[in-house]
Amino acid sequence: MSQRRLAAIMSLDVVGFSRMMQGGSKLLLKTLNTLYRDLVTPIVEQKSGRVVKLLGDGALIEFPSAGNALEAAIAIQTELRDPDHHYLVPERIQLRAGLHVGDVTVDGDDIFGDGVNIAARLQSAAEPGGILASKVLCDLAGADYAKRLRREGLHTFKGIEQPIEVLSFNFTDEHVSKSRANFAKTQEIRYCKTDDNISLAWSSVGDGPPVVKAPSWIGHLELDWRNPGKAPIYTSIANRHRLVRFDARLNGLSDWDAETCTFERFVDDLETVFDAADIRRAPILAISQGSAVAAAFAARRPDRVSAIVMIGGFPVGRAKRTSQKDVERANAIKQMMTAGWDDDYPSLRDLMAQIIVPGASQEERRQYAEDMRKMISPENMGRYRGVIDNIDISPILSKVEVPCLVCHGNSDRMQPVEQGRLFAKGLPNAKFIAYESSNHTIPDNDPEWPRFERDALAFLAEHS
């Protein structure tokens, strides 16, 4: 006879299961069995939970309390964030977790009902490696994790009548957050002059061997400390190195009225900051088009560059690619940015934030969208995009002899991973690493962040 009871439900699902099955079901299923046997089940049992059933690509689990369910989900996902975990097929397995508290109908060892359905819907909406929980469960779980839960707004789900308020879990370590806030508070903004009389704003934080960041898309020395894609790598490097950053001409705290905006000037400006910061030779941190700038500088001045870490880079801009679709997209983006960049409601900037850091929280993306308006004017954005879209450093890649670590998300929505591979293929001394991520710049909530951080820091330590 069926019974009803209140339960905390966890729904787990393997990210990309169908795609991975095509690569060989035997190894995948064997690895998943090991994962559930050696990792998931022991954690569930430790938190007094019960694995109701395994579903091939996931699991249904119940707990006697909301707190136990949340703690178990955190423990499972934290283990899978280990850069050296061995659940590979050959790519790293990632899980999504959905959590809810509600009535369930018990029939033998199985459970059914809205509580189960809502947990499954939350799981399907969670980010890879993430946890998405209903506010009801989070409220019942208590205050222990309140500071690490991020509001994701109201979500509507198929088959669920009422919208559900949901929260995600923030894996950023509290000590890292404090360190980041301290860097933002204590950095000193300085200015240097280019040979065409443009003032560039630059800053230096941290101690140790220097690392210089090349100018990337748009930025702001102060606001970038809350940028979900940039702040994590800045913080990590500044905790071990002297990190020198600057705002490129036309944006941030640098001059917005520069008469000249060319790719060659971006390269010149990088050398100007090297001189201003009194750095003879150092590795470069290069993000997006900064990768092309750094490569061009290394080809020009190999004596000043010891290595380059490239993130989401591309050697060929959209307007120079062979695909007509890319050319049309470049023109469309440039026109939209010029026309609607400073709208009060940041619909266009929201879209850009979603493309650049889809794995960041809704709150972080909205703040990033608001900050973008303070970084550059619509007119300068049009000029800027014209330069970026017409980059083509293919002819000089063979001259970049310094070691390069080329990092790219496999599902990068801003610049396709093929551009990262093209970069690495043309560089004489490059190592290419693809991460299972859709982010253009990797937030520290991304499950691939620990692996990326480890790889980048080890490379910088070797070449500083």
**Any idea where the domains of the chain sit in the sequence?**
3-169, 174-463
Mean local confidence (pLDDT), 46-52: 96
Choice between 351 and 121, residue whose per-residue pLDDT is larger: 121
Mean local confidence (pLDDT), 229-238: 97
pLDDT of residue 314: 97
pLDDT of residue 243: 98
pLDDT surpassing 60 at residue 399: yes
Q: What is the pLDDT of residues 190-226, one digit of tens each?
A: 999 999 999 999 999 999 999 999 998 899 999 999 9
The pair of structure tokens assigned to 53 is 């059933």
pLDDT of residue 344: 76
Name the burial class of residue 70, with classes exposed (0-12), middle (13-18) and buried (19+) by CB atoms within 10 angstroms of its CB: buried
The pair of structure tokens assigned to 364 is 């972080």
- Give the distance, in angstroms, between the CA of residue 288 and the centroid of all CA atoms in the same chain: 13
Which architecture does CATH list for 174-463? Answer: 3-Layer(aba) Sandwich (3.40)
The pair of structure tokens assigned to 159 is 């088959």
Entry field: residues in the chain: 464
Mean local confidence (pLDDT), 279-290: 98
Mean local confidence (pLDDT), 223-241: 97
HEC per residue, 143-159: CCCHHHEEEEEEECCCC
Say which residues have a Cβ less than 8 Å from residue 389's Cβ, sequence separation at least 6. 317, 318, 319, 320, 330, 334
* pLDDT band (50, 70, 90) for residue 1: low
CB 368 within 8 Å of CB 353: yes
* pLDDT band (50, 70, 90) for residue 52: very high
Round to whole Å and give the CA distance between 320 and 109: 60
The pair of structure tokens assigned to 394 is 């293919």
Instruction: Put the strands of the sheet holding 305-311 in their side by side order.
Output: 188-193, 199-205, 242-246, 210-213, 282-287, 305-311, 404-409, 430-435
- Give the distance, in angstroms, between the CA of residue 301 and the centroid of all CA atoms in the same chain: 31
The string of DSSP letters for 434-454 reads EES---SS--TTSTTHHHHHH
Round to whole Å and give the CA distance between 251 and 373: 10
Averaged pLDDT of the chain:
93
pLDDT of residue 91: 84
Q: Which CATH number fits domain 3-169: 3.40.250.10, 3.30.70.1230, 3.30.465.10, 3.40.50.1100?
A: 3.30.70.1230
* pLDDT band (50, 70, 90) for residue 124: very high
pLDDT of residue 191: 98
According to DSSP, the residues that pair with 51 across neighbouring strands are 61
95-107 and 149-155 as β-strands: parallel, antiparallel, unpaired? unpaired
**pTM to 2 decimals?**
0.91
Mean local confidence (pLDDT), 267-285: 98
Round to whole Å and give the CA distance between 257 and 463: 37
pLDDT above 70: percentage of residues in the chain: 98
